[in-house]
Amino acid sequence: MSFLRRNASFVLALVLILGFGSLFSFNNPLRAIATNATRGMTAAVWEAAQGARESFDSYGGISARATLAEENKSLREEIARLQSLSLHNDVLKTENATLRDMFGLREAYPEGVSAPVLSNPSVSPYGTFVIGSGSADGVVVGSFVLSAPRVAIGREREVGEHTALVGLFSAHGQKSEVMINAVRATYEGRGDGNGLVVVPRGITVNVGDASVLPGLPFAIGFVGYIKSNPQDAETLVLVRVPTNLPGLSFVRIVPAPN
| E runs forming strands in 144-227 | 144-148, 151-159, 164-168, 175-180, 183-191, 194-200, 210-212, 219-227
Q: What pTM does this model have?
A: 0.61
pLDDT at 179: 94
pLDDT at 109: 80
Domain extents in the chain: 1-108, 113-254
131-173 residue pLDDT tens:
999 999 999 999 999 988 889 999 999 999 999 999 999 999 9
Taking domain 113-254, whether its CATH number is 2.40.10.340 is answered by yes
Ranges of residues in the chain with a pLDDT under 70 are 1-64, 84-104, 258
221-252 residue pLDDT tens:
999 999 887 778 889 999 999 888 888 888 99
pLDDT at 66: 73
| Residue 32 CB-half CA count within 13 A | 4
pLDDT at 18: 47
